[in-house]
Amino acid sequence: MNTTGKKNMIVATLYFVLTLGLGMALMRMLQTADPAWLESPARKMLAGAHLHGSLEALLNLLFGYLICRFGTKTPMLSTVASWLLLLGMLHSAGAYLGGLGLTAAKVVAPFGAVSLISGILVMVPILAKGVDTEN
């Protein structure tokens, strides 16, 4: 079994727990019913980061497993896809930090989005070659 995707699965699981924690914190803050907070750009950015972070974590978990399962035929592509997918989580991490007031962090979000899309595209030949040759 290829273990290149193992880091994706471990990091994704930890990141998913982090995004769930953010979701719980957001729900707690919504219970205060502070009208200024409900309409604040920070709340909207943190809510978006919660959603995107959860999806990015699940994508890394899924693709990490697929890299472990089918990436043995293309080890170099598997390594590239693994790192691109991990860097893709910078998309939501930048939004997290931006929502918490570190506005300079928002510049990494587009880099993370491009990395995530690139990683998914690199997965296509990995899956095509790996799945095709399986019995």
| pLDDT tens column, 14-47 | 999 999 999 898 888 888 767 887 888 888 888 8
Name the band, by pLDDT with cuts 50, 70 and 90, for residue 64: very high
The pair of structure tokens assigned to 110 is: 């587009």
Q: Is residue 1 part of a domain?
A: no
d(CA 54, CA 56): 6
Would you state the pLDDT for residue 79?
95
Give the closest residue to 134 by CA, choosing from 73, 56, 76, 92: 73
Give the closest residue to 49 by CA, choosing from 27, 30, 22: 22
Would you state the pLDDT for residue 36?
82
d(CA 26, CA 20): 10
Task: Give the number of domains in the chain.
Answer: 1
Helices (H), the chain: 6-30, 35-38, 41-70, 75-87, 90-99, 108-132
d(CA 60, CA 39): 32
Is the pTM of the predicted complex or chain greater than 0.85? yes
The domain in which residue 62 lies consists of 6-132
Q: Is residue 76 part of a domain?
A: yes
| pLDDT tens column, 104-122 | 888 898 999 999 999 999 9
d(CA 43, CA 37): 7
Q: Is residue 62 part of a domain?
A: yes
